[in-house]
Structure 1
Amino acid sequence: MSVPVSRRLHCLFTAKPTASFTKPSTTFNLSPPSSASNLLPKPPKPTTTSPSASDSLPKPPKSTTTSPSSSDSSEDKKLKTLVKKFKKASESAQFRRRNRDYGITVLRLAAARKFSYIEDIIEHQKKYDIITKEGFTVRLIGLYGRAGMFDHAHKLFDEMPQLKCERTVLSFNALLSACVNSKKFDKIGELLKDLPAKLSISPDVVSHNTVIKAFCEMGSFDSAFAVIDEMEKNGLKPDLVTFNTLLNAFYKNDRFSDAEKVWALMEDKNVVPNVRSYNPKLRALVADNRISEAVELFEEMGSKEVKPDLFSFNALIKGFCDDGNMEEAKKWYKELSKNDCNPNRVTFTMLVQLACEKGDFDFALELCKEAISQRCLVDREVKQLVLDGLVKELKMEEAKELVELGKSNSYFDYKLELPSDK
């Protein structure tokens, strides 16, 4: 007797992580019930404020329909004012197109555990005619997902017909993604089992990629790899996102041999890797203290015309900083600028700390000045290391210059302090 689809899905999404990679033998049913939607826009890029914010969001309470907290704390007042201003700004059609502002606001409220405030501003959006546009509603579902509020995302998805908003594979994928971002992995099987047939939606490549991401986050790597076979059975071709998701998960979990199988499959299927394919391997090699191999991989990227990005350079710089190699760290810092990449907080922090360890306070000061000129916020403690070192070497003019730069730039919410005379 064949095992029912619902049971197979349940087993897959409740199974314990596998210990090693083997040839996938377990599959799940994503067979399209009909030929519904096809091409989708690319998923929005994550905001630069917190790339992994959804991974550390607090779990929302079971119900967020209660009234906002009556706390009179200063922070609560600020957040209430933020909600009020946001709802007022939402009256502007131009503002409603500003995805980044929506994302930053929701993440800030989620970090403060103000889930009822999030519900307030998203529910407020239903009063505007744009709610009938699937793309806008999909954004709202995604916001609930990023805040870890899957039940609210599901509720909004269910309400779409009442809001006169069409539901296609686009909104189905948004709901799947909200499920993954909320860490509700046990719900994925239900969504895949019930919704496609009920709504005559055919899961597409994005749907399958989201499932792969879910399996990877659960540590079920064999099941994640098995999704590729399922995609091909349904007439779909795995894309670069498919393979990059697997590469990132395998390297993050030190599964180098499994990652090599992914590279081989990419070559077999003529999928050309990009910088996001290489970066996880660079980071893994550095973490495994194989810096020379990381440099070789970097050179391989150049030979294959894959342009490195900031994260590529930061990986190498980290390797040399961890190794205490100031000369090589400086070299790759200079290469970064030559390749039209701007250093970020991570870059400056690594280099400043190493420069201070090596007693190269002139270079540390140069880095601090560059960070300030680029309005790149580096921790006060890191800059204080530079200041203390300059004072210790009796470079008082340079020390005072750094203090004055900190004072004159209001972007930095801290004060550097010179040691008091004894």
Structure 2
Amino acid sequence: MILRSHFARNHRQSIIQSLSSASTITRKRTFALASPSASHQDSDHHAYKLNHKDWLSPTEVLKIFSNLRDPISVISVLNQYSKRKDYNPNEALYTLIINKLAQAKRFDAIEDIMQRIKVEKLCRFSDGFFYNVIKIYGNMAGRISKAIETLFDMPSYNCWPSVKTFNLVLNLLVSAKLFGEIQGIYTSAAKLGVEIDACCLNILLKGLCENGNLEAAFYVLDEFPKQNCEPNVRTYSTLMHGLCEKGNVEEAFGLLERMESEGIDADTVTFNILISGLRKQGKVEEGMKLLERMKGKGCYPNSASYQEVLYGLLDKKRFPEAKELVGRMICERMSPSFVSYKKLIHGLCNQKLVEDVDWVLKTMVQQGFVPRMGMWREIVGCVTFGKDNRNRVYVTETVDSLAS
């Protein structure tokens, strides 16, 4: 009896454990099956709200769409909403729908929505709505032609583009290097009711410079007063960059003088362009003088300013001076690039300046850069064949500590 009771008790416990395990497995399976259809449950929940006869306010409708976890479901929910008597979509709703479709990369569906809006004609849209759509077409979808089409199609939606939206399209064309399209868009400004501003002319000028057409770019500079616009520092900086790219650094400095005579102060970007132009011509001394001239103008150099001068010194193999400039940059809380450290260590190793190599190596690591295998080989070679045993010990200790 005792054995039988003991066996029965163990048997019951075994059954309970089995049932418990089975229950756990069932719950897991149920959860696993339910998880993929969570979006369907979500849609069903909102479908219930849309099927309910109570009148829905625009705020309630927005909440329904914003709470949709599956961006693709917005189309089916929109179709369901359109069957209601209180169907009254507005700009905020369509903006939300389009943004959700963009998030899901359903750009064809966005085109369908835009066509639907045009056919329905149930609400008015602001320029900001089309700015958003054009930005999605251009930046996210890479559909520049669709962005252009939307710009010209805006009047059919009873909305005229602002100069901001117009300039967005010009910028997209410049970024995509579609220089042949820029002139056509620019000349359509009057047709679209857009009043040209300085930003518009600057974008046009940038496109011409990037296309290498400096003659036409200077023609645009002459257009500023004709359009009742004033060129700014960005206008001149763009032209200077174009001239420096062509190697016409002297002309770029001539523009600097013209700009300053017109009462326009050069900024850090302007000076950096000129320093870079001087560096490409091997004029390191002039670049260093310009760096000091910046400060006299009340324009403090940034990391890019110092970096261009540093590259110039490295190009000229003036490695000890380059090392001093690295120290100056760090004191100014600016970090030289990894390429700078690589070139500097290479040059110092070639000149067997072991102590300088030691300093640069430690500084580089302190700045968060990790030397690569090729750099280690150069350092070890410099240490092995260096003339100064004392310096060799310094670097050997550094290599050992970093390697460990």
Q: TM-score, normalised by structure 1?
A: 0.58
Cα deviation, residue 193, structure 1: 2.1
Cα distance per residue 1:123-176 (max 9 Å; x no partner): 39969x99964664464355259x6x5335435545767999873111211111
**Counterpart in the other structure of 1:345:** 338
Distance 1:311 1:160, change over 3 A: same
2:127 is the counterpart of 1:143? no
Distance 1:131 1:210, change over 3 A: closer
Q: Work out whether residues 285 and 294 of structure 1, in 8 Å CA contact, stay in contact via their aligned partners in 2.
A: yes
Q: For 1:220-299, list aligned pairs within 5 A.
A: 220-299=213-292
**Counterpart in the other structure of 2:52:** none
**Counterpart in the other structure of 2:165:** 171
Q: Work out whether residues 152 and 192 of structure 2, in 8 Å CA contact, stay in contact via their aligned partners in 1.
A: no
In terms of fraction of residues, the more helix-rich structure is 2
Aligned mates of 1:166, 1:311 — CA distance in 2: 41
2:105 is the counterpart of 1:121? yes
Q: Work out whether residues 122 and 140 of structure 1, in 8 Å CA contact, stay in contact via their aligned partners in 2.
A: no
Cα deviation, residue 329, structure 1: 0.7
Aligned mates of 2:70, 2:381 — CA distance in 1: 46
Greater displacement, 340-349 / 131-140: 131-140
Q: Work out whether residues 130 and 136 of structure 1, in 8 Å CA contact, stay in contact via their aligned partners in 2.
A: no
| Alpha-carbon RMSD | 3.8
Cα deviation, residue 212, structure 1: 0.7
Q: Work out whether residues 314 and 346 of structure 1, in 8 Å CA contact, stay in contact via their aligned partners in 2.
A: no
Which of 182, 192, 205 is the equivalent residue of 2:186? 192
Letter in 1 for 2:281: D
Q: Work out whether residues 141 and 157 of structure 1, in 8 Å CA contact, stay in contact via their aligned partners in 2.
A: no
Cα distance per residue 1:241-279 (max 9 Å; x no partner): 101101111112111232133123202311000111111
Q: For 1:63-78, list aligned pairs within 5 A.
A: none
Q: For 1:210-225, list aligned pairs within 5 A.
A: 210-225=203-218
Residue 198 of structure 1 aligns to a residue in which SS? coil
Cα deviation, residue 368, structure 1: 4.3
Which of 201, 207, 210 is the equivalent residue of 1:208? 201
Distance 1:401 1:244, change over 3 A: same
Q: Work out whether residues 285 and 293 of structure 1, in 8 Å CA contact, stay in contact via their aligned partners in 2.
A: yes
Cα deviation, residue 384, structure 1: 4.8
Q: Work out whether residues 387 and 402 of structure 1, in 8 Å CA contact, stay in contact via their aligned partners in 2.
A: no
Cα deviation, residue 201, structure 1: 0.9
Kindly name which structure, 1 or 2, has the bigger radius of gyration based on alpha carbons. Answer: 2
Q: Work out whether residues 356 and 389 of structure 1, in 8 Å CA contact, stay in contact via their aligned partners in 2.
A: yes
Cα distance per residue 1:337-387 (max 9 Å; x no partner): 233323233432332332332233554454445444444477654455335
Letter in 2 for 1:173: N
Aligned mates of 1:288, 1:206 — CA distance in 2: 31
Q: TM-score, normalised by structure 2?
A: 0.61
Gaps of 5+ in 1: 1-87, 92-117, 405-422
